[in-house]
Each structure stands twice: as C-alpha cells, then as structure tokens.
C-alpha cells in the first residue's frame, strides 16, 4: 500500500526573492486556497494517510499555519463563519508531521531526512512547485505503480529550450502514456538530453532510494539530487515507469509561472 508521502518545503525560495524572504511561496494563494493545501488535498484524495512536510527553522510559519491556536479561536468564537473557515485546516492536522532540514543541501538530501519514517516498500514524493489540476496525478502514479510493479515518475514533453530546467528521462519502450525508463539525467543540455520528457514533481519511489542517497554524492548545482539517486537504482535493476499524466501542469516555481498559474485557476 502506498500510504505515506513526503513534501519537501525547506528550499530557500531564491527564484522568487524578495517575496519569499519571510513568507514561503508554498503558502501563497492559488485561487481560494494555498499552493500547499492543493498539494495536500491531492495526497489525501489519492489515499495517503501520513504526510511528512520537510521544513526548516526559517519556514516554521508553515507549522504555525496548521497548528491549532486556541487563543485565536477564543477571539473569533462568536463569528461562526470565520470559525468554519478556520476549521477547514483541521482535516490535515492528524495526517501531517513535520521534519526539519536546516541545511539546504538539495532535494535528495531533503528526502533523506525521512529515511527512518518510511515504513512501507514505496512512498509518494510530491514537489510543491508543481501543481497539477483537473486530474489527480498522484492517483495516476499509484495506479501505474501497481500495474507495472515499478517505481514511477510523472513526465511531460517539454520544448528544447526547457530541457535544461528539469530532470529528463531516456526510455526503451512506450505503451500509450507509459514509458519504460532506461536513463535519468538532471538538467542536461539539449545536445546531451536523452529525450524531451521531463520529470514533473510527482514520484513513487522505493525505500531502496535511501541507500542510494546515503553516499551523499553531490550532482548538478553542487546539490544532492534525487535524479542521480534514481539513476543509481536504475543501474542496479530497479524498474522505473514514466507516466505522461492527464492533468494540466501549472509551474509555480517562477514568478511568471505563478502569475500564469493564478490566472489559469481563476478561469475554473
């Protein structure tokens, strides 16, 4: 059963400074709810029961947001509507746990902070920069995991210009919207890229990934990359499937992307 998820939130948000200096972008609204709540609801509707939110001391505001605040509730207790709105957060409270990553050493290192928390053979990893609307991408990946008995990553074809922004997969076979992956490369140049299929932030990973991350080998940008750890697992015969997901991808990792995404959800 896939019932645990990891959401890394300890990044410094450098692409969106100064806006992210004291208010994490994951808390920014996207339509009527925050980016993070959209991601959490996707996880819960995909059947996830326990979610590890990786934060840092700088991002304690995320923990405060979900924690109940009796003093504040007392102040607004006469305002039923306000209380009702506040109580929306309660559905997440029991499902989320906070893990701290205080040195931003990369996505691979963030995932590694949960190595002793994952109890089943596979888990879901969701990156909050990548919002996917209109279809539950995590659910699609879980279905593909059971079908192919493999690890799975969400993928999408990107333009030549964009391959150097993403982890890219190479593949040996394609069955409709599923690829049999035979290579992972983090942010290649177009000349060295094995394809135009980019990894978008949803992964079903085997617990074996933690062994692969243990070496703490630094990759692109001097960071410990999850893509490199997946490539190592692939070499040691772990099966990986790429799932071309049905939903619409909203890139919230850049300011332009966020503004476009906000306008897009406003249409719904």
| Interacting residue ranges for ligand G1P, rule: CB under 6 A | 107, 127, 129-130, 166-167, 186, 198-201, 225, 227, 253
Task: Name the minimum Å distance from CB 85 to ligand G1P.
Answer: 31
Report the residue closest to ligand G1P, judged by CB. 167
DSSP 8-state assignment for residue 160? G
Task: Name the minimum Å distance from CB 94 to ligand G1P.
Answer: 29
Task: Name the minimum Å distance from CB 129 to ligand G1P.
Answer: 5
Q: Between residues 111 and 142, which has the closer beta carbon with respect to ligand G1P? A: 111
Q: Between residues 99 and 199, which has the closer beta carbon with respect to ligand G1P? A: 199
Residue 252 · residue 19 · CB < 8 Å: no
Residue 4 · residue 49 · CB < 8 Å: yes
Q: Between residues 16 and 200, which has the closer beta carbon with respect to ligand G1P? A: 200
Q: Between residues 127 and 142, which has the closer beta carbon with respect to ligand G1P? A: 127
> What is the DSSP track for 94-151?
TTEEEEE--S---HHHHHHTTTTT--SSEEEEE-TTEEEESS-HHHHHHHHHHHHTSE
Residue 90 · residue 44 · CB < 8 Å: no
Task: Name the minimum Å distance from CB 93 to ligand G1P.
Answer: 28
């Amino acid at each position: 059963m896939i019932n645990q998820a990891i959401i890394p939130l300890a990044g410094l948000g450098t692409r969106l400074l100064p806006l992210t200096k004291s208010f994490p972008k994951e808390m920014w609204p996207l339509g009527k709810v925050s980016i993070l709540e959209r991601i959490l609801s996707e996880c819960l509707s995909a059947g996830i029961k326990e979610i590890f939110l990786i934060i840092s001391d700088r991002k304690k505001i995320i923990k405060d947001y979900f924690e109940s605040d009796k003093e504040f509730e007392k102040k607004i207790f006469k305002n039923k509507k306000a209380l009702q709105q506040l109580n929306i957060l309660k559905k997440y409270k029991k499902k989320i746990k906070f893990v701290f990553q205080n040195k931003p050493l990369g996505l691979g290192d963030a995932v590694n902070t949960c190595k002793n928390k994952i109890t089943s053979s596979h888990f879901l990893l969701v990156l909050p920069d990548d919002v996917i609307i209109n279809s539950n991408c995590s659910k699609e990946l879980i279905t593909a995991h059971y079908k192919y008995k493999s690890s799975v990553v969400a993928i999408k074809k990107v333009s030549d210009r964009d391959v150097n922004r993403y982890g890219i997969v190479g593949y040996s076979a394609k069955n409709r919207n599923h690829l049999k992956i035979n290579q992972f490369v983090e942010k290649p140049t177009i000349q060295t890229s094995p394809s135009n299929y980019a990894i978008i932030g949803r992964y079903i990973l085997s617990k074996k990934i933690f062994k692969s991350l243990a070496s703490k080998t630094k990759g692109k940008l001097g960071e410990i990359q999850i893509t490199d750890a997946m490539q190592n697992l692939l070499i040691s015969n772990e099966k990986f499937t790429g799932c071309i997901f049905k939903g619409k991808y909203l890139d919230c990792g850049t300011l332009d992307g966020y503004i476009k995404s906000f306008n897009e959800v406003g249409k719904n």
